[in-house]
Amino acid sequence: MTQAAPWISQQVRALLAQNGHAWLVHGPSGLGQYALAMELARAWLCEQPTPNGSCGHCVSCHAIDVRTHADLCVLMPETFMLELGWPLSEKAQSEIDDKKRKPSREIRIDGMRDAIEFAQRTSARGRGKVVLVFPAEEMNNVTANALLKTLEEPPGDVKFVLASESAHQLLPTIRSRCLGHTMHWPDERAAKAWLVAQGLGAGDAQNLLIASGGRPDDALAFASSGRNSAQWSGLVLALARGDSTYVKDWGVPELIDGMHKLCHDALAVKLGAKPRFFSAAALGVLPSSSIVSLGQWNRDLIVARKTMNHPFNAGLMQEALVERARSALNSVH
């Protein structure tokens, strides 16, 4: 088990000191919603819990580490389950293995029905049961409505923790049935120290923390993909030149996010403000593009975000996005 970041541990202590059968932990991406939800689940199921959380070494903690705890139900899109190492149901895994369908990007109603049935069962280890939902906004209306009754009147000793990066997308009836907790932003020094402890160099930790807008999980994810802060800075010149090969290993959502940040900083510099995500030196290679063209590019990126998770051809999508960036960055009208 990787030790929780200090700002996550602080929030765990605060939440464990309060009573409630259902929590909604929410805030912008990259602040550790999943980590906080997991730490709460670990503490609730731990055989030797402390006010600070789980013990980390009992049988229950080990079972969660190896993804086999009988009293923990993790409800996620199948793409997230696979990415984070959680096993799919036998039926779902069989359908995917047989190429009958691709892993789902939303929380399926089948999974919710399994979670509700799980909530009705007796605890296997006698410490209660936990249902963890992440990202909770990936429940569609049908899936969310199926959860309402169980969330309001949970049977026995089951607890729920819903983690969200877009809580405004949740049904009001879901939000009203949970105690809410807004994720804390870590201070820069603590976030940088944590990133260094995860293996990043001090320079990369500092620069990627800036690139991620102060969100340490996002900074670590960028570094974990095999890139560094120099490659982040190099994105500016690559887009200005229309070099789509530079971003061939970038996911479409990641690319759109990077472009949005570049567009923001280019507009900021145009208006006499300081850039937020890129250094002034990196932005110095940009041609003199117009505010009008940058503003239109920003609007185009907002539209692109709405479909960025659709199963388009990634290569063609990257080329189209890069060409649009080149056009915007080189337009003087």
**Is the pLDDT score of 268 beyond 90?**
yes
Q: pLDDT for 174-227, tens place per residue?
A: 999 999 999 999 999 999 999 999 999 999 999 999 999 999 999 999 999 889
For range 11-23, the mean pLDDT: 94
Q: Which of 70, 68, 72, 66 lies closest to 43, judged by CA?
A: 72
What is the Cα–Cα distance from 71 to 202, expressed in whole angstroms? Answer: 40
The rounded percent of the chain whose pLDDT value lies above 70 is 99
Both tokens of 177, joined, read 């049935």
Q: Scanning the structure block, which residue is given the tokens 């009958």? A: 100
Enumerate residues 6+ apart whose C-beta is below 8 A from 164.
Answer: 24, 25, 26, 33, 134, 135, 136, 137, 170
What is the Cα–Cα distance from 275 to 54, expressed in whole angstroms? Answer: 41
- Kindly tell me the burial class for residue 255, based on how many C-beta atoms sit within 10 Å of its own C-beta (0-12, 13-18, 19 or more): buried
Query: Could you give all domains of the chain from N- to C-terminal order, each with its CATH number?
Result: 6-182 (3.40.50.300), 227-329 (1.20.272)
How confident is the model at residue 14, as a pLDDT?
95
**Is the pLDDT score of 2 beyond 70?**
no
Task: Let me know: does 318 contact 252? Beta carbons within 8 Å.
Answer: yes
**Is the pLDDT score of 332 beyond 80?**
no
For range 100-106, the mean pLDDT: 91
Both tokens of 72, joined, read 């923990």
How confident is the model at residue 238, as a pLDDT?
96
For range 103-128, the mean pLDDT: 92
Q: Scanning the structure block, which residue is given the tokens 């709460």? A: 40
**Is the pLDDT score of 1 beyond 60?**
no
Q: Which of 325, 303, 319 lies closest to 252, judged by CA?
A: 319
Enumerate residues 6+ apart whose C-beta is below 8 A from 244.
Answer: 318, 319, 322, 323
**Is the pLDDT score of 55 beyond 90?**
yes
**Is the pLDDT score of 243 beyond 90?**
yes
Q: Which of 129, 153, 115 lies closest to 41, judged by CA?
A: 129
What is the Cα–Cα distance from 59 to 124, expressed in whole angstroms? Answer: 13
AA letter at 26: H
Q: pLDDT for 246-261, tens place per residue?
A: 999 999 999 999 999 9
Q: How confident is the model at residue 333 (pLDDT cuts 50, 70, 90)?
A: low
AA letter at 182: T
Torsion of CA 150, 153, 155, 161, to 10 degrees: 60
How confident is the model at residue 310, as a pLDDT?
77
Q: Measured at the alpha carbon of residue 153, what is the angle toward residues 147 and 157, in degrees to the nearest 5?
A: 100
Q: Scanning the structure block, which residue is given the tokens 């405004």? A: 168
